[in-house]
Chains A and B, each alone.
Chain A
């Protein structure tokens, strides 16, 4: 977003909204999964509430047509990045992977939405549109394991949570119903993760890929030793927010009945009732068999007992705080639109009042709004402790065809390395088995074809045979390292960096440390062992020019972002220790809730969405008691 942007060539008209401040029972900022779940939970348990939902993005796919347009935009996109199918407005931009570079080599990153001061680039992004990042997520729905909530007391690292796995368990169950998770309890009872007696997931597990089964067989009985303890290298299916075969034994606590009906596409409910294996879950599931928050939102907007208004293209930039009571008095937002002739931007500023205000925007956006409002200052933790999973990829060719590029991006992993005594010295990691060949590390299959034509000079039948042979043997593994909370990994705001609407752009300071680097080394060792056992011809290569390249003890590694942004308004026992309490209520402001992944104290090794969804249900319960 340089200062000579294309948008400034438009005549911009800004109007001050002269209407009196509108009053609401609840104002929810952000229409992603957290905002949608809180709203849905409220409209189900309350009557007569007047709720306002504000979303920054220009994309609003509540109707099927708009979603179909996203599909077309994806088909047309040359670089099929996670945000490529979705609208991106300079008035409320989304971060993009295309803006990244190696900071050590090329200096701070100032193009794009994020301002990155480094020294290490923050590699992840998110989506600012109605539905949020669930539009492009993969759908992995892992629960955290009990030790993840007490990392400090168990392993002397990081911090403990002010809540336990057991306390979150009933909310995990609600989240698994809302998202519609496909998995088998028998396989997920690992790492101390318990389930209620007789619990089953709403749907049976998504069938494991041929590759999963091939690896499972090839690695049978194998173990790896970390710090003197043997860990089984076991392939286990991954719970997914993706429609599969309903489990008849599923007991729905809400309706007090058995069975589950998968929720299809929004506006075309007969579509997407089962995963069809279209193999582009990221960036977009064409039939919405993968959960997205639009599904939850449709229930919110269809409710008849409460009034809900959802306004998009309405980014919130500040909260007004009453100096005496510390209550949030106003929510300030701007609306943007393009004039009918497409030549002018129409901008207006607004304010609204809510008895309860919920910040349910992205972890970084929540922090940005709090910082801009000088809210929640007691703990000094707002914007700090930014965490992500660092994903190292290893890839190679298997000796035989394993049917790459079919089905969901990943259907299994090796989760038994997610917890263990090694965590006192190095990060735990989750191992993900990728079904889409080298798509992530090497942009295959397109690059396979280009390589065959340009470098090998193949054509005709030889070319087809080559692509078929290589393409069906490509495979990769992902190694996702946990990160510890650190104050130096943080978001800041500055008047020097604003977007087209005049709202702050996030300035990110980010480091990786020895705890993760040691994990990278351990993962590399485990990868080598697995590749040897499966006779994989390794093609892994890490380049010094990679944005996420680092060296450790004489070896180079490249990591990527996982899109799991956590920790920017962490929960705590008290106002000194955290920004919010276990219900995600701000310690400093009695009528403010700050909800989302930003509340998580540690990231552990699970993709955070399921835990975020569980927390949202808990928060909604607390809000409902106010009415």
Chain B
């Protein structure tokens, strides 16, 4: 174990928390099973194992991006909104609206990342598998193919939830090697994918060909993707693929020298902080000062008044079966049907029907209303409320 004190401020949360042994074993086991299932499924028919590895890694990256969204959503939707016209609004809710805004902006960027990886995967002619039950996360989970050092679960907005989010978005320390399997930071994993992609494209070039043979019509463009923290990039060669990866890495981690991503330079947008640092503002209850830029320093700006009590008391990592009352169970089931429909709709969007993204947006709204409705309802006999369980219900194939 490294000495935490020696590390820069923003790397100190990298060390594993003390998960109890049983939990850790279960996480490892889950990972192993899903992995074996995947290998069994997709190894066939591909001659170049490394291209297959690239495809598989990109699929895992999509899964990775997707698996962060439900936890962020639970935190976001559990924060009560309050009525701003009431005189006691500020005293009661403090800066909770600011906090919601921060979480939402991160979540929307995760959606962008998910879409960007989908574009990259399509560009290198990989198969999109969003609705493969082995790819849909089941909570609690570990980040797919990660070192599994921490648990990612569904819970209400709380310091504990934010600590987990910080772990997810942890910037990669310098001199950390790229790593596919057992990575500790998402950056490590992406670096490994980027290296492999460069290598494969270089070899292909030598043979006078390219790995970017995917159909351009499969790319999601700005007509269909909007609003999610930056502009979508259509991927058709190595350069555009690298640009897409750069957005993902910088929005997530920032850079070694800055807490900000490069959005302002890229898209003429307002200066936007990388995910880790947005969550860190919440965690520390303090904004970064306008003049701050150094990731090694803790935030030193205005205080954020966070009222953790103005939050729906959602049960942690619940399943539909836990909800006791038939009405709640039906509500939860309806939510999960919608959620599953969303995943199928997204899959259609990536496989030639980009206009399905419009339908997906409508579903996302319905999910929001259904999720909040669940969170408002107490589970009979328990002093916690229900909440969205994000259980995938695969379509029964005819």
A interface residue numbers (CB < 8 A to B): 64-65, 68-69, 72-73, 75-76, 245-246, 248, 259, 261-262, 264, 268-274, 276
Contact = CB atoms under 8 A, between A and B. Distances in A.
Contacts of B395: none
B222 A246 contact: yes
B229 A270 contact: yes
Contacts of A73: 85
A245 B223 contact: yes
Contacts of A75: 83
Nearest to A73: B85
Given A270-B105, A276-B365, A72 B227 contact: no
Residue with the greatest number of chain A CB neighbours at <10 A, chosen from B83, B84, B226, B227: B227
Contacts of A271: 227
Contacts of A65: 84, 97
A22 to B, nearest CB: 28
A76 B83 contact: yes
A272 B84 CA distance: 20
A69 B269 contact: no
B223 A248 contact: yes
B226 A262 contact: yes
Contacts of B361: 274, 276
B106 to A, nearest CB: 11
B101 interface: yes
14 contacts: A68-B84, A68-B97, A69-B85, A72-B84, A72-B85, A75-B83, A76-B85, A248-B223, A259-B222, A262-B226, A268-B101, A270-B228, A270-B229, A271-B227
B84 A270 contact: no
A268 B105 CA distance: 9
Interface string B66-99: 0000000000000000011100000000000100
B108 interface: yes
A374 to B, nearest CB: 42
Contacts of B85: 69, 72-73, 76
Contacts of B83: 72, 75-76
Contacts of B291: none
B270 interface: yes
Interface in B40-90: 83-85
- Max chain A C-beta neighbours (<10 A), residue from B85, B97, B229: B85
A245 B221 CA distance: 11
Nearest to B105: A270
Contacts of B270: 269
A248 B221 CA distance: 11
Given A68-B84, A268-B101, A246 B227 contact: no
Contacts of B97: 65, 68
Determine the main DSSP class of B at the interface with A: loop
A69 B81 CA distance: 11
Nearest to A76: B85
A274 B227 contact: yes
A268 B270 CA distance: 10
B268 to A, nearest CB: 9
Given A72-B84, A248-B223, A264-B227, 5 more contacts: A69-B85, A73-B85, A75-B83, A76-B83, A268-B101
B226 A69 contact: no
A276 B364 CA distance: 11
Contacts of A245: 223
A276 B83 CA distance: 22
Interface in B217-259: 222-223, 226-229, 231
Nearest to B108: A270
A73 B83 CA distance: 8
Given A69-B85, A73-B85, A276-B365, A270 B101 contact: no
Nearest to A85: B85
Most chain A Cβ neighbours within 10 Å, of B97, B101, B105, B226: B226
A264 B97 CA distance: 19
A65 B97 CA distance: 8
A269 B104 CA distance: 12
Nearest to B268: A261
B223 A270 contact: no
Contacts of A76: 83, 85
A76 B83 CA distance: 9
A179 B347 CA distance: 35
A264 B105 CA distance: 14
Contacts of A268: 101
Contacts of A69: 84-85
A75 B82 CA distance: 12
Contact of A273 (B105, B226, B365): B226
A271 B97 CA distance: 15
A65 B270 CA distance: 17
B263 to A, nearest CB: 11
Interface in B250-288: 269-270
Nearest to A274: B226
Nearest 8 interchain pairs by C-beta: A69-B84, A273-B226, A273-B227, A72-B84, A270-B227, A72-B85, A73-B85, A72-B83
A454 to B, nearest CB: 29
A206 to B, nearest CB: 13
A269 B365 contact: no
Contacts of A270: 105, 108, 227-229
